[in-house]
Amino acid sequence: MLRDAIEAERAECDQDADCARINVAIELAKKDFAALENRELDPEDMQKQWAAIRDQTIFVIRDVRHNIVRRANEAKETTRWLINRFWRDDDDVRVIREFSAQLREVPTRALLDYLRYLIQFEDLARIQSVRAVFAARVDHQRYRASFEEMVAQFALTKCGDLGERLIRICRAAETTDAIVADLFCASRRSNGSHSSITQRLPQLEAPVIDDMAMRAVSTA
Q: How many structural domains compose the chain?
A: 1
In angstroms, the first-to-last Cα distance of the chain is 18
How many CA atoms within 13 Å lie on the side-chain side of 178? 8
pTM for this model (two decimals): 0.70
Residues 51, 176: Cα–Cα separation, whole Å:
21
Say if residues 177 and 207 touch (Cβ distance below 8 Å): yes
Residues 145, 152: Cα–Cα separation, whole Å:
11
Q: Is 194 helix (H, G, I), strand (E, B) or coil?
A: coil
Q: What is the span of the domain harbouring residue 201?
A: 5-219
Q: Is 188 or 110 the better-scoring residue by pLDDT? A: 110
What pLDDT does residue 192 have? Answer: 53
Average pLDDT, the chain: 81
In terms of DSSP H, where are the helices of 90-142? 93-102, 108-120, 124-136
Beta-carbon contacts of 27 under 8 Å, excluding residues fewer than 6 positions away, are none
**pLDDT exceeding 90 applies to what percent of the chain?**
41
Torsion angle of C-alpha atoms 9, 70, 88, 97, degrees rounded to 10? 120
Assign 218 a pLDDT band (cuts: 50, 70, 90). very low
Residues 52, 153: Cα–Cα separation, whole Å:
42
Say if residues 172 and 68 touch (Cβ distance below 8 Å): yes
Q: Which of 101-110, 157-166, 179-188 has the lowest mean pLDDT?
A: 179-188
12's enclosing H/E stretch is helix 5-37
Q: Using alpha carbons, select from 4, 25, 20, 13 the residue that is nearest to residue 71.
A: 13
